[in-house]
Amino acid sequence: MPPPEQRASTPTSSRSAAKSPRVLACVLCQQRKVRCDRKFPCASCIRAGAQCVPTLAPRPRRRRFPERELLERLRKYEDLLRQHNIPFEPLHAPAGEDSRTPEFVEHARSEERTVGEEGQSKESMTVKAEPVYAAKNYWKVLSLVSQDAEDVDFDDNSEDDPSHSQDTLGGTAVRKMFDQAYKNNHQNFIFGSHEANVDLSTLHPDQVQIFKLWQIYLDNVDPLLKVTHTPTLQARIFDALSDLARISPELEALLFSLYSVAIMSLDDERSSFGSPRKELLQGYQFGCQQALLNCDVLRTGDRECLTALLLYLVSMRSETDPRSLSSVLGVAIRIAQRMSINDERTNARYCPLEREMRRRLWWSLIMFDNRIGEMSDHKTSMLIPTWDCRSPLNVTDNDLQPEMKDSPAAYASPTEALFISARSELGDFLRHSAFHLDYINPSLKAVARDTKGDGMTDIERKIEDKYLRLCNPDNPLHYMTIWTIRGFLAKHLLLELYSKFSPTKQSETQRNTASSYAIRILKSDTMLMRSPHTKRYRWHVHMHFPFPAYLHAIQDLKKRPMQAHAREMWKTMSENAELRFKDMHKFPPVFENVARNVLQAWEAHQAALGEHGKSIAPPWIVQDVRTKLNNLHSDSGNCNAEQPNDTEGTTSLSMPTEHDIPNLLSGMEGFGSVACGLGGYSDIFEQAVMDVDADQSGWPTMNFYPMW
């Protein structure tokens, strides 16, 4: 008697044998469109004396497993439950995560770790989870008109899903269609065209310099961005060094972007790499441009390629008009949105490592865009409530491993991700804040999350308690985080005050409060500029010149020369200006208006003191302004003597010398660049000059690079 397996298969085998196979017309008959008798050889081929070639039977349509429809319905119901914030246990937790809402999970895990470290008993918590807003899938909706809807590619991220057929008409198929249609059409309208005679492998530095640049990147740049995963990337770099000519285009673009930001982060004009810093930077940026073209960055779906683009743009920051940089950042953000990095539902499908790296990349991109937006036109900022990517976890790179199934618990104590965690949490609060949206798009306040309480005062207290009070000021990253975040908080406290109260109708107490915020901004920047702890991060400090504090302080001192904070404001401005501008030999002409306002404020202060029979020595900033203005005018006189044909009204003031440029850029991050006004905040501070007389030299008439 045959075994059970054989017995079970016998009826099926006999039925299969009884069913005759389908015979198709031969190849020649199909081509000639004549009737074929379906024999081999067929009569038509015999008459024509041609070789009869039977047609192979087409591959049978792959049968979908019968549970497919049921699983689709379950997934739809689970989505509805998530949208309505109804707790449930999903059939398959995404990427091995807890079935509870991710906000609850991360908060609860953080609390558990804190309790474990402090030895306290765990208290019950009631956490109100937030609703999940998911955009409809266009292809899924479109597929509903099909009678064979189960064959349509519902999932826009289904390239790696073997259960999806190859002939579907969803988003994946459309992307493949575009890939074929534009296969030889390189998108060169941003980075130019390929240099055919350039071998990128020859543009890489030698191995010793690659190791050195990698270490500079890890020390100077990575702690403030965290867009690369050190353990896995370092291993790949070491492997790639054996044959740089054979590495993937994405990795090559990432390598050149790492070289670029590493060189950018150095202060020394004459680097230790045997060539001037500027030449090295231009060479690596050119290599990065070519590598980005090689991996089709404008239509990429690769996170690593987008990371390379971000690092490249960071390296271009100090030499690029912020308006131009903002435009290209818009392209980078659109690429990220196409990859759904801004969508937490999509991120949840990935493993914990990839999920966290996507969050880090999105937040670094958005915060960099927000800063550049402040310097050009704040209304273009994407720090708005229209996306739902969560803030990065406060975990180390070693806590994130490729084989992990569950996300690591966030630490309560500071880690290497301290800076990005604190900054992102603060940014997440701001993008839902009414006063912040007033400066971008007030209509978005209708969709913003309700931020109850005292606004910036509440988030300031939370950030201080959760992050800053636990920091060790002797640790460079901790020190950088403390004073960067405090300066950021003070700046937005000032903005919030301007949003709540009209500057022309503020009480004396409110004016004094605004002045105290300006002082805090300046003091925070002074702490960053003065400390040796921030030397490696000075590239980031230079990008955040405290212009709003100077603007407020100077105009307020002109209007209220004897206010309560007057002496402290002069002292604080002098300390900061000495650190920022002491190595600058003269002001650029576009800064003359600022300098004259400083002198006007000091003259008002002297006049007020004279009424009380007092006088004091001018502070450092006043002495320095007088000296530099004298130098500026003497150079202007020489220029006029040499060029007597200048037309009236044309600026004849000399520009800074080549020796001044590095100090100018490091102190003021581009004041000498082509003018572009005050950016998106100009209307705010035109009102914030505290009733300055119309005949005075005011900020709205200024024409200089915004140093917000």
Q: For the segment 291-324, what is each residue's pLDDT rounded down to a tens digit?
A: 999 999 999 999 999 999 999 999 999 888 898 9
Cβ 330 vs Cβ 229: under 8 Å? no
- pLDDT score, position 132: 52
Q: For the segment 476-531, what is each residue's pLDDT rounded down to a tens digit?
A: 999 999 999 999 999 999 999 988 877 667 788 999 999 999 999 999 999 999 99
Residues 6+ apart with CB under 8 A from 69: 150
Q: b/e string for 568-594 if b means 16 or more Cβ within 10 A?
A: bbbebbbbbbbbbbeebebbbbbbbbb
What radius of gyration, in Å, describes the C-alpha atoms of the chain? 32
- pLDDT score, position 262: 96
CA distances from 229 to 223, 634, 702 (A): 11, 54, 44
Report pTM.
Answer: 0.73
Maximum alpha-carbon separation in the chain: 125
Q: Look at the domain 23-57 and name its fold.
A: CD2-Gal4 (4.10.240)
Q: b/e string for 11-38 if b means 16 or more Cβ within 10 A?
A: eeeeeeeeeeeeeebbbbbeeeeeebee
Report d(CA 346, CA 134) in Å as an integer: 9
Q: For the segment 438-491, what is each residue's pLDDT rounded down to a tens digit?
A: 888 889 988 888 766 678 999 999 999 999 999 999 999 999 999 999 999 999
Tokens representing 614 are 């007092």
DSSP H or E stretch at residue 325 = helix 322-338
Q: For the segment 401-422, what is each residue's pLDDT rounded down to a tens digit?
A: 999 999 999 999 999 999 999 9
Cβ 303 vs Cβ 357: under 8 Å? yes
Residue 134 confidence class, pLDDT cut points 50, 70, 90 = low
Cβ 611 vs Cβ 675: under 8 Å? no
Tokens representing 382 are 């994407």
Cβ 393 vs Cβ 106: under 8 Å? yes
- β-pair partners for 276: 270
Report d(CA 653, CA 629) in Å as an integer: 11
Report d(CA 409, CA 338) in Å as an integer: 29
Q: For the segment 57-82, what is each residue's pLDDT rounded down to a tens digit?
A: 666 666 555 666 777 788 788 878 87
Looking at the predicted structure, is the pLDDT value of residue 166 above 50? Answer: no
Smallest CA-to-CA distance from 101 within 71, 131, 124 is with 131
- Is there a cis peptide before residue 41, judged by omega within 30 degrees of 0? yes
Which SS3 state, helix, strand or coil, does residue 32 take? Answer: helix
Report d(CA 569, CA 598) in Å as an integer: 12
Residue 666 confidence class, pLDDT cut points 50, 70, 90 = very low
CA distances from 179 to 298, 432, 479, 602 (A): 12, 38, 48, 65
Cβ 544 vs Cβ 489: under 8 Å? no
Question: In terms of pLDDT, which residue wins out, 23 or 443?
Answer: 443
Report d(CA 439, CA 448) in Å as an integer: 14
CA distances from 519 to 490, 552, 554 (A): 9, 10, 11
CA distances from 496 to 247, 382, 385, 389, 492 (A): 50, 19, 18, 25, 6
> 662 burial class (0-12, 13-18, 19+ CB within 10 angstroms)?
middle
Which SS3 state, helix, strand or coil, does residue 457 take? Answer: helix
Phi, psi angle pair for 390, to nearest 5°: -80, 160
- β-pair partners for 270: 276
Tokens representing 81 are 């439950």
Report d(CA 200, CA 256) in Å as an integer: 10
- pLDDT score, position 49: 85
Q: What is the mean pLDDT of the chain?
A: 77
Report d(CA 63, CA 50) in Å as an integer: 38
Residue 150 identity: E
- Comparing 78-82, 226-230, 364-368, 568-572, which segment has the lowest mean pLDDT? 78-82
Mean pLDDT calculated for residue range 180-184:
61
Phi, psi angle pair for 525, to nearest 5°: -65, -35
In this structure, the chain runs to a length of: 708
Report d(CA 80, CA 86) in Å as an integer: 9
Looking at the predicted structure, is the pLDDT value of residue 8 above 50? Answer: no
Question: In terms of pLDDT, which residue wins out, 3 or 25?
Answer: 25
> 434 burial class (0-12, 13-18, 19+ CB within 10 angstroms)?
middle
Angle at 475 between CA 471 and CA 480, to 5 degrees: 75
Tokens representing 588 are 């650029």
Query: Where in the chain are all domains bearing CATH 4.10.240.10?
Result: 23-57
Tokens representing 343 are 């969508």
Residue 455 identity: G
Q: Write out 348-384 in H/E/C secondary structure.
A: CCCCHHHHHHHHHHHHHHHHHHHHHHHHHCHHHCCCC
Report d(CA 64, CA 50) in Å as an integer: 41
